[in-house]
Structure 1
């Protein structure tokens, strides 16, 4: 039976394979072009994804019983930041592949072990660890791809899965990333595959029977909204009806 962990790992593989097909074709000019992350080039996005893969692989590998070389995060970031755009791109391919290969190859017993991520106070399950990685990868993969193809979208399967994950194991992230005080009234927003409820906190829910507003657009646009990427130049065809505006929702989800 396919589990939620299996589906997340499959989505990580799909995103990796898409970028692995694209990245070797990029010219120096494309690597240095502006990405969907406004302050980063395409190469810098790949560097961020690559360093993230290197860092987040270590605790999973440690929990699985692999000997892992200890290196502090700042040293890793400095090494990546000091690399050329071409080396950042090549490094991403290497380290992201190593991450995906690791999580695909874990045994059932290794999957059950708790993982100390370092950025969180308590150990987490493999599901939380890989879900956090998918949240990072899906959005930044879009950042990289839209830098060379303005029509790019977030991987559709990843978007559907992330909406499901934000209803469950990733719900805690909304306490850090969403700003409920940016709207003056309670909002129950119908979205593809669920709902977003804004009261004194922001939650993603199952589909809503009595919405006060409706998001008209695909699930991938919802994920871009929730990560601060549904900007006016990438929001064609998206409409919001009801008691909240798209601009207010952008303020609720400033991005990361």
Structure 2
């Protein structure tokens, strides 16, 4: 698990450095452009990433120090402070807060990366460093896309994050997938991804779940792995769907899958 923690922390570093370089080059008017997140402009996405960095760092420090994790009131105070910032202040604050979190993860020695259990307020039990950093990587990678797509409609998730998140998406898919969006219909799919190549199953039953590849699927979805990840998080509009995405089925459409994964 230490290797996975190392890889995830490295991906957080490369992701931060990439987005930070983009943010430093933005003009004031760029910060108020619509982002890939439907209700947020670019500065609001950066505010979410910056406030999330503060909250994640506070959780990490509490776990390292053996103290209680910050409560909901702490989170609300952090969000309120960031909400009150100007677009320029959000951009500057993001650069500082994100760097602080990534640097703190990097400072953990090998033993700590293996043994530490991090308390996160939305999970019932503490998790290891690889999982905690992986959840942060998922949030960071997708919201980085929200920023980048404001300037490049063909933007894709970072390859370093994609490789790691592809193995992690099953942890949350039954929460983010909405089986009732199909109006009572059910189905099983084979998912085949490229970059990297994987093959597995998706069950659309009473719940949405990743399963073994079905012998007789109702549909076969072929897609770049980064788009599959974006599909599960609602970042799947037709204008941001590459030509390499295909769905072979008599009963399901891409729009059906978009309804199953409305985003959050």
Cα offset, 1:178, TM superposition = 0.9
- The structure-2 alpha-carbon separation of the partners of 1:194 and 1:101, relative to structure 1 and needing over 3 Å to count, comes to farther
Partner of 2:55: 55
Q: Secondary structure at the match of 2:247?
A: strand
Note the alpha carbon deviations across 1:85-125, whole angstroms, 9 max, x for none. 11101111111111111111112332212211112222222
| 1:231 pairs with 2:230 | no
Matches within 5 A, 1:70-89: 72-89=74-91
Partner of 1:194: 199
CA contact (8 A) 1:194 1:205 kept: no
- The structure-2 alpha-carbon separation of the partners of 1:128 and 1:143, relative to structure 1 and needing over 3 Å to count, comes to same
Matches within 5 A, 1:23-34: 23-34=23-34
Partner of 1:240: 247
> Over aligned residues, Cα RMSD in angstroms?
2.2
Partner of 2:96: 94
CA contact (8 A) 1:46 1:92 kept: yes
| Number of residue pairs the alignment of both structures matches | 252
Note the alpha carbon deviations across 1:154-177, whole angstroms, 9 max, x for none. 11231232111124xxx1x22321
Q: Secondary structure at the match of 1:203?
A: strand
Partner of 1:133: 136
5+ long unaligned stretches in structure 1 = none
1:251 pairs with 231, 249, 259, which one? 259
TM value normalised by structure 1: 0.90
Q: Distance in 1 between matches of 2:212 and 2:14?
A: 26
CA contact (8 A) 2:233 2:263 kept: yes
- The structure-2 alpha-carbon separation of the partners of 1:200 and 1:68, relative to structure 1 and needing over 3 Å to count, comes to closer
Cα offset, 1:66, TM superposition = 8.5
